[in-house]
Chain A
Amino acid sequence: MKIPTLSVKHMSAVLLATVLAACAQPPAPTAAPAKPAEPAKPAEAAKPAAGNVEVELLFPVAVGGPIAKIMDDYMARFNKANPGITAKATFAGGYADVLTKIQTTVQGGGKPAPVAVLLSTDLQSLLDADLLEPLDGYLAKAGDAYVNDFFPAFMLNSKDKNGKVWGVPFQRSTPVMYYNKAHFKEVELDPEKPPKNWAELLDASKKLTKPNGDRWGLQVPSDGFPYWLFQAGPISLGKNVVGAEPNKVFFNTPESLEALDFFVSLSQKDKVHPTGVIPWATTPDAFLAGKASMIYHTTGSLTNILSKATNPADVGVAFIPGKSGFGVPTGGGNLYIFKAAPQEQKDAAWKLMQFLSSPELAAEWSRDTGYIASRKSAYDTEVMKKLVAEKPQYGVARDQLQYAQKELTSHQGAQIQQIYGNAIQAAVEGKKDSKTALADAQTAADKVLSQFK
């Protein structure tokens, strides 16, 4: 079972053991191929034989086993292709644990691991804490084509307010809507035409809901980090809750209010959604058990849901419906390099980052976990073509990326996210009306952000 930590949204996909067999296949050539028989490249030979550079990658996972093995496999392949570097991947808990580990090491004057996977929304806090190594020099050498190949939506949370890139997309996700095609047929809805807007969503939900809580038309989890799924509403209405400036958020807007009112009415007025705050961790189980016909969850749960479903063909994946258009935030983790690490380790870490973000690896990582492959060219690889052909559900999140916007982040990002989340929870429960809840959240957020000029 899963424990709802901060990381679950990004990590729930990771439950899968099925990928191990796939990983045993001979790896596709990835970064600079260096055949063992060939002599070392001149550039490397010219360097003073400083011996072996060790690179430690800290990565977060909600569940251990398979992911650690996949990571070890990636590291082995990297090490084979890069003589002189020994990379190892260290499982370090959830996202928050990895962050804490790096912070405490640096604050204690020690040398942190040179590279780690942290939330893309941690960027501003990492900058405020002055932990990050600028990537400019590396990126200049890699060329524009490297950065431009990443989906633009994933770069929104990877840049600071001046547009400077500080992190490389790795395990990225968006919310999607999962729907039960069998239930759709049962109430004579077209299983190939999922709701595209709020009116259709409400209509379908009413038809799908059964009395006494036996089945809910729609279930949107709202514990832990409710802001994330909810953010889709204001984005679809054309006004995101966050902009380019890290010291401003827009909670108290007509768009935010309209989205919140709609969301609240689903449970309070229309009774097609359970009341109260719904747990993130067990919502996929409710969907799999047929207790909810449609759920919002991360694309990262796709592999998990498909593998547990009695009939995977009945699992529909659709864009999150907006009022009229679409819109979602991105989510998930980026790779960062830490300034306090020794220079040769940082250089080696950059090589590792390039390897992990290569199209082939991005494709494999997507197949193995359910995250969206971070680069466009990954979808041209054989691995990805085969996957999307066999399971079209894997293509939906990529297609939805054109509507994706920045995930809520700012100075004191975690606190600001919580403030917005609390407002949503208060409104969902009817403890505050939507207007008051949002106004209070704006005041609280402004107070926190006023410390940052």
Chain B
Amino acid sequence: MSSKLRAILLGVALLLPSLVFLVMFTALPVAQTIINSFYRRNLATRNQPVWDGLGNYVRLFAADSDFWQVLTNTLFAIAIVVPISVILAFLFALLLNQRIRGIGWLRSSIFYPTILPMVSAASIWLLMFNVDFGLVNTFIKLVGGKAQNILGTTDWALWAVSFVIIWKLTGFLMVFYLAGLQGMPTDVMEAARLDGAGAWHTMRYITLPLLRGTTIFVITVAVTNAFQTVDHLYVMTQGGPNNASNLLLFNIYETNFRFQDSGLAYAETVVLLVLLIIFTIANTVVADQRSFDAQ
């Protein structure tokens, strides 16, 4: 046996355990989901899979389907949640990176929404947003405004549930930025200061570029979180009013478990997978591009 062959075999052997797990828990379920999405399987077929070709997708993307709204809602929520929570996280990290008296207290108060279980957080905000006695409306009235039925209004519900994700997510993202800031080499900063760089220039040309890896990671986490966080919908709006705050993952849950239309739910899951893959590829390409530019 040549040494080259031996090296290859060794490599394969070392990869094998993770390969087995990857195939079993990722590749196979994905393949199974895609296959199942071509079958109609609901109570009308008495839970038996019936070959339906693209039937589920046709139903999903029919002109009068609620799914369009669900997709729009999901993309809207991500478009709000990701930039706001990432920017806020960065600003909070800058703030908390200072040596100020009482900073520990501030740090924990910004981080604490992360520790709360989502259902508890959602229950708190359900009461805060309540039209009759919620704190938010008490405040609005105090400053002379008119009480708003925030969760019960189509125009506000999606903003409100997105806000709760931001509230919950920002502290979590902040930790990564804080770690990045604290791991920042001090000699570079000193050199910049000696060269007469102001705060803005230091930020623009040193801090931000050095945090690029962190930012890419943080954006990935923010996007996956925005896709995955649905528990609060169950508590706060159940996707209502009239689907105004229905998000993709919550819709999949409803389709499968409440409406028992698993074929359709598989098709929706495939759409979710495709969206996540598109995002991951885009993110990787952008990240690679930037690191290439930097060289």
Contact A277 B152, CB 8 Å, known A1-B123, A100-B257: yes
With a cutoff of 8 Å between Cβ atoms, the chain B residues found around residue A276 in the complex are 131, 149, 152-153, 241
* Stretch binding the partner chain, chosen from A33-41, A252-260, A284-292, A341-349: A284-292
| Residue among B44, B127, B131, B147 making CB contact with A451, cutoff 8 Å | B44
* Interface membership of chain B positions 116-154, coded 1 if the CB is closer than 8 angstroms to chain A and 0 otherwise: 000100010011001111000000000000110101111
State whether the Cβ of A411 lies closer than 8 Å to any Cβ in chain B.
yes
CB atoms of B46 and A130 under 8 A apart:
yes
Interface size in chain B (residues, C-beta < 8 A): 34
A125 to B42, CA, bound (A): 10
CB atoms of B258 and A415 under 8 A apart:
yes
State whether the Cβ of B182 lies closer than 8 Å to any Cβ in chain A.
no
Q: Closest CB-CB distance, B242 to chain A, in whole Å?
A: 4
| Residue among A213, A223, A278, A452 making CB contact with B44, cutoff 8 Å | A452
* Stretch binding the partner chain, chosen from B80-88, B91-99, B232-240: B232-240
With a cutoff of 8 Å between Cβ atoms, the chain A residues found around residue B42 in the complex are 412, 451
User: Which partner residue on chain A sits nearest B238 by CB separation?
Assistant: A224
CB atoms of B43 and A125 under 8 A apart:
yes
With a cutoff of 8 Å between Cβ atoms, the chain B residues found around residue A415 in the complex are 258-259, 261
CB atoms of A422 and B243 under 8 A apart:
yes
| Residue among B131, B151, B235, B237 making CB contact with A274, cutoff 8 Å | B131
With a cutoff of 8 Å between Cβ atoms, the chain A residues found around residue B235 in the complex are 3-4
With a cutoff of 8 Å between Cβ atoms, the chain A residues found around residue B243 in the complex are 422
* Interface membership of chain B positions 221-237, coded 1 if the CB is closer than 8 angstroms to chain A and 0 otherwise: 00000000000001101
| Residue among A100, A213, A411 making CB contact with B147, cutoff 8 Å | A213
Q: Closest CB-CB distance, B49 to chain A, in whole Å?
A: 12
With a cutoff of 8 Å between Cβ atoms, the chain B residues found around residue A128 in the complex are 43-44, 46
With a cutoff of 8 Å between Cβ atoms, the chain A residues found around residue B240 in the complex are 223-224, 277, 421-422, 425
Q: Closest CB-CB distance, B48 to chain A, in whole Å?
A: 10
User: Which partner residue on chain A sits nearest B260 by CB separation?
Assistant: A125
CB atoms of A223 and B241 under 8 A apart:
yes
Binding site secondary structure of chain B: loop
CB atoms of A274 and B47 under 8 A apart:
no
CB atoms of A444 and B44 under 8 A apart:
no
State whether the Cβ of A265 lies closer than 8 Å to any Cβ in chain B.
no
State whether the Cβ of B293 lies closer than 8 Å to any Cβ in chain A.
no
CB atoms of A279 and B152 under 8 A apart:
yes
User: Which partner residue on chain A sits nearest B122 by CB separation?
Assistant: A3
CB atoms of B153 and A277 under 8 A apart:
yes
State whether the Cβ of A5 lies closer than 8 Å to any Cβ in chain B.
yes
A280 to B238, CA, bound (A): 12
Q: Closest CB-CB distance, A59 to chain B, in whole Å?
A: 19
CB atoms of B153 and A425 under 8 A apart:
no
Within 8 A of A (CB), among B172-220: none
Within 8 A of A (CB), among B26-47: 42-44, 46-47
CB atoms of A129 and B46 under 8 A apart:
yes
Within 8 A of B (CB), among A130-146: 130
With a cutoff of 8 Å between Cβ atoms, the chain B residues found around residue A286 in the complex are 132-133
* Interface membership of chain A positions 1-35, coded 1 if the CB is closer than 8 angstroms to chain B and 0 otherwise: 10111000000000000000000000000000000
A431 to B242, CA, bound (A): 10
Hey, which bits of chain A sit against chain B, CB under 8 A? 1, 3-5, 96, 100, 103, 107, 125, 128-130, 212-213, 222-224, 274-279, 281-282, 285-286, 289, 291-292, 411-412, 414-415, 418, 421-422, 425-426, 428-429, 431, 440, 443-444, 451-452
Hey, which bits of chain B sit against chain A, CB under 8 A? 42-44, 46-47, 64, 119, 123, 126-127, 130-133, 146-147, 149, 151-154, 234-235, 237-238, 240-243, 257-261
8 sample A-B contacts, Cβ–Cβ < 8 Å, listed by A number: A96-B257, A107-B47, A223-B152, A278-B149, A282-B133, A415-B261, A422-B242, A429-B242
User: Given A277-B240, A278-B149, A440-B64, list of 15 further CB < 8 A pairs?
Assistant: A3-B235, A128-B43, A129-B46, A130-B46, A213-B131, A223-B240, A274-B132, A276-B149, A276-B241, A279-B152, A289-B132, A291-B132, A412-B259, A425-B241, A451-B44
Closest 10 pairs (CB-CB, A-B): A277-B152, A276-B149, A276-B152, A451-B44, A128-B43, A277-B241, A425-B241, A425-B242, A286-B132, A415-B259
